[in-house]
Chains A and B, each alone.
Chain A
Amino acid sequence: MINITLTINGEKRQFAVSPGETLLELLRREGYKSVKKGCESGDCGACTVVLNGRAVTSCIVFAAKADGGTVLTAEGLESGGVLHPIQEAFLEEGAVQCGYCTPGMEMATYDLLSHNPDPSAQEIKEALSGNLCRCTGYVKQVKAVKTAAKKLTKEAK
């Protein structure tokens, strides 16, 4: 076993991980159940988290590699029972159906909007291209990201 330190959703924690364990496996075993297990080969995006500021598929990240890093999951988006503007926007626009892809979509959105506060529809589609949704036709998600961008810009003012 290897001892690693991660800051998850603002909380610094220590874990003993096995050398071949993935970040997805660690996060789910530690109760971060918003991080979904889908394809386990980096194709579907259900396990997306923000690692050191960038959205990645946690199923193909070795937990040992993340040692010393900062992880944000969907659990860390809300604060004090208040939803994050990205979460609000997904609800308001009806971008959630079965919900399995939603946490991953929101984390990919978080990465996009922290680097590009006013993305075009094309930029949104590119940013979400690694997150598969089998319920919708992606129209509502693109709308939700636009709404989230507006909310965040308003909040920053």
Chain B
Amino acid sequence: MRQVRSKEGIVSRSQVTNYVRPSTPDEALALLRKSGKSARYVAGGADVARTLPSDVTTLIDLCALKLSSIEEGPEGIVINATATLNEVLENESLARVCDGIIPEMMRKVGSPLLRNLATIGGALASAHSWSDVIPLFLVLDAKVTLFDGESRTLDLSDLYASREGLVDSILTSVMIPASRAGDYATFHKFSRTGCDIALLNCACYAHVDGGRCTEVRIAAGGTPRLAARLPHVEEALRGEGLSDETIEKVAHIAQDTAQTADDRRASGEYRKQLVYAGVKRCLREIAEKLEGER
């Protein structure tokens, strides 16, 4: 009983001897520090239930911390960690960010059944290479707040740069900066089926002023490494307009410079083609939006 053959191998849950629901972050942190590697945080639990390592005996459920609201703050919209992906998808304030890019991306994440369980904190802290949330949140310049005895806020990109924040702390919220006029963002996912994880995904953000991209952030995920920005592409696009020629040129730079590799889902060579197509489609979509506004 309670043994499941999953894509990741055999998952057994019968070794779990403790399931605790602390009510404060201090308590949750103390429990993790006490149990060390034999403990695992659980938010929605969808990921943990599927992929629980056999040496984990204590589950620390973070949902009693009452961190599930989504609030508009002075600098942007704060999504607390245990808000589910569907709550993020359905939130009206988040739907106003860059013309609805957040719900557009979220509709491509798994099925609604999964999105009713999976949380935004889990999606960011589990740092899956195929995550659709991470590349979009990277280009939207999201800030995360961690609790390790005290709260500190850092750029999402810095969280993944050192990974130190992913150990021994609790991700309590993520903030999406408020959109300004002239902000555009697009997202594209390549996968075998709608509910499947990405073979590769791509997110683009541009602030356009007088027809030129004054601020640019572009990221690709599932390369198959964790989503990362594409600095050469960003540099080539900064200060430029979105003509067909420019888009073609920078999409080729993406293809040439993105670090792709083989895994069981796709070859690195195929992923190079996907980066090219993803960047091109994302930027074309922004160009079409600009065209439509004229």
Mask of B185-228 contacts with A, CB within 8 angstroms, 1/0: 00000000011000000000000000000000000000000000
Given A19-B16, A22-B49, check contact A56 B6 (CB 8 Å): no
Looking at the assembled complex, report how far the CB atom of A126 sits from the nearest CB atom of chain B, in whole angstroms: 7
Judged by a CB distance under 8 angstroms, whether A25 is at the interface is yes
- Choose one: A19, A25, A130; the contact of B111 (CB below 8 Å): A130
The total number of A-B Cβ pairs within 8 Å is 97
Kindly state the interface size class of chain A when it binds its partner. 20 to 34
- Choose one: B7, B59, B86; the contact of A62 (CB below 8 Å): B59
Q: Which of B101-151 contact A (CB under 8 A)?
A: 107, 110-114, 116-117
A5 to B1, CA, bound (A): 23
Is A20 in contact with B15, judged by CB distance below 8 angstroms?
yes
Judged by a CB distance under 8 angstroms, whether A21 is at the interface is yes
Judged by a CB distance under 8 angstroms, whether A64 is at the interface is yes
Judged by a CB distance under 8 angstroms, whether A93 is at the interface is no
Is B107 in contact with A130, judged by CB distance below 8 angstroms?
no
Given A126-B107, A129-B194, A129-B195, check contact A41 B117 (CB 8 Å): no
A56 to B2, CA, bound (A): 19
Contacts of B59 in A (CB 8 A): 19-20, 62, 64
Contacts of A40 in B (CB 8 A): 4, 6
Judged by a CB distance under 8 angstroms, whether A48 is at the interface is yes
Looking at the assembled complex, report how far the CB atom of A45 sits from the nearest CB atom of chain B, in whole angstroms: 6
Q: Which of B15-29 contact A (CB under 8 A)?
A: 15-19, 21
Point out residues on B near A: beta carbons under 8 Å.
1-2, 4, 6-7, 13-19, 21, 42, 45-46, 49-50, 52, 59, 61, 63, 84, 86, 107, 110-114, 116-117, 194-195
Nearest 9 A/B pairs, CB to CB = A130-B111, A20-B16, A20-B13, A130-B113, A19-B19, A64-B19, A60-B49, A54-B116, A40-B4
Point out residues on A near B: beta carbons under 8 Å.
2, 18-22, 25, 40-43, 45, 48, 51, 54-57, 59-62, 64-65, 67, 108, 111, 126-127, 129-131
